[in-house]
Amino acid sequence: MKIEMTNKETNVVVLKVEVPQEQVEQAIAKAYVNTRKDYSLPGFRKGKVPRNILEKRFGIEIFYEEAANILVQDTYPKVIEEQKLDPVDHPDITVDQLDSEQPFVYTATVTVRPELKLGKYKGLKIAKEEKSVSDEDVEAEITALQNSKARLIALDADGVAAQNDQVIIDFIGRLDGVEFEGGTGTNYPLALGSGSFVPGFEEQLIGAKQGETVLVKLTMPQEYHSEELAGKDVEFEVSIKEIKRKALPALDDDFAKEVGDYETLAALKDFIKERLEDRARQEADDKLRNDVLEAVREQAEVDIPEVMIENETDAMLRQMENRFAQQGLKFEDFLSYSGKTLDDIKAEMRLGAEKNVKTELLLDTVSKVENISVEEAELAKEIAQLAEAYGQEEKAVRSALEKNGQLEAIEQVVRHRKTLDFLTDINIKQ
């Protein structure tokens, strides 16, 4: 097999491959076996027509397309390995010569992984931001916990709705006196001050009494998802059916015992403070790692192929769709509600996708330069954590990863983490 490689442009190489004629004959023989099920002639059962009969009737060329596919599939991986290339996308294949009595010649245009040029990546002296936990922070957590344990108590008939109350309402929305689609509701629980409805709606219910009907007048937002209503003046006829108010539990030792295994309120506060301090330390560590990564990434230079950015954007889009699906939502409904197109979403994701690709290239380059690798014990630990998270046996998880070709991706995750640890340690300001 002969291979001629030339550079077409940055990160794109052109491979001209010549495959010996004897391999062409072998591929044609395989092509006959693969495609004979598609042929039938009088006197033969379908799929049982001998090769020489088919060639006589249709010409040997009927096997060429399948033979070309076989030859490319058999030789392209070997060519890539021999030339030590790292493709980032499927090749663009052009058949230059295919004849049963001649060598097979094809051209593969391949986009390859770009080389990242490291700038300064050591001794950047990035300061770690320390955050202390105040008594006010602890009290805020206690207040939030107290609110989570609050009970809703229905007010008497003469009760008046106030901020943070929950009102049970029926409502009818009208535009120019005509009810509009999606503007009605029955027995709807609305927390005043939650911002659940369009701006200006909830504020007009404050001060209303149970049994009262309030006429809410407002202008719909210009960016409202319904073009029919966007920027229009509308009215809502709102019936206040019930008003409920939070009854907060007393902050005492009994409260501490109710929310957890704490003998006193002081013990609960001590636990909350420790938890907040742990969170603050973790946030400071995470910010330091991000700051280091950002600084090193800015120093690096790389010309990223467009296809890598497109592939990363598609991956991010799939993740978004999966998140919506997990919440029981359809991505198409989100597009309709937001008034955005798929191209709009991709355009918004592009900068993040480019950043993600550069980060991956950076961490791969540093790990290679610094000989950072993953030991089998480290990989096994990562798989064990995955198994625990999914409630499965480690052996089954490893087997599934190997079967799906994802073991290398897990190894990369661990290697990247070790590389970022290395960068953080050598760049933190002492």
Q: Report the CATH number that the domain containing residue 187 is assigned in CATH.
A: 3.10.50.40
Q: Which domain holds residue 80?
A: 2-111
User: What is the reported pTM?
Assistant: 0.76
pLDDT tens-digit series, residues 359-370: 999 999 999 999
Residue 180 has φ and ψ, to the nearest 5°, of: -110, 155
Q: How far apart are CA 171 and CA 237, in angstroms?
A: 5
**333: which 2 tokens?**
């409904």
Contacts 24+ apart (CB under 8 A), 70-75: 70/27, 70/30, 70/31, 70/34, 71/19, 71/23, 71/24, 71/27, 71/104, 71/106, 72/106, 72/108, 74/23, 74/27, 75/1, 75/17, 75/19
Residues 404 and 366 in one domain: yes
If DSSP codes are grouped into helix, strand and coil, which group holds residue 33?
helix
- Structure-token match 């499965």, residue found: 392
Q: DSSP states of 92-158 as a string?
A: EEEEEE--TTS-EEEEEEEEBPPPPB----S---BPPPP----HHHHHHHHHHHHHHT-EEEEPPTT
- Distances from the Cα of 107 to the Cαs of 17, 21, 77, 94, in angstroms? 6, 17, 14, 5
Residues 305 and 398 in one domain: yes
Residue ranges of E strands in 199-313:
213-219, 233-247
Q: Which residues of the chain have pLDDT under 50?
A: none
Contact 162, 206 (CB under 8 A): yes
Contact 309, 182 (CB under 8 A): no
Residues 232 and 179 in one domain: yes
Residues 234 and 277 in one domain: no
Domain assignment of residue 142, yes or no: no
Residues 278 and 224 in one domain: no
Residues 99 and 34 in one domain: yes
Residues 340 and 422 in one domain: yes
Domain assignment of residue 140, yes or no: no
Give the DSSP letter of residue 216.
E
pLDDT tens-digit series, residues 390-399: 899 999 999 9
Residues 401 and 280 in one domain: yes
- Structure-token match 């009907």, residue found: 213
- Structure-token match 């990160």, residue found: 11
Domain assignment of residue 132, yes or no: no
- Structure-token match 């503007």, residue found: 183
Q: CA 38, 39, 44: angle at the middle one, nearest 5? A: 135
Residues 216 and 351 in one domain: no
**Domain total of the chain:** 3
Domain assignment of residue 131, yes or no: no
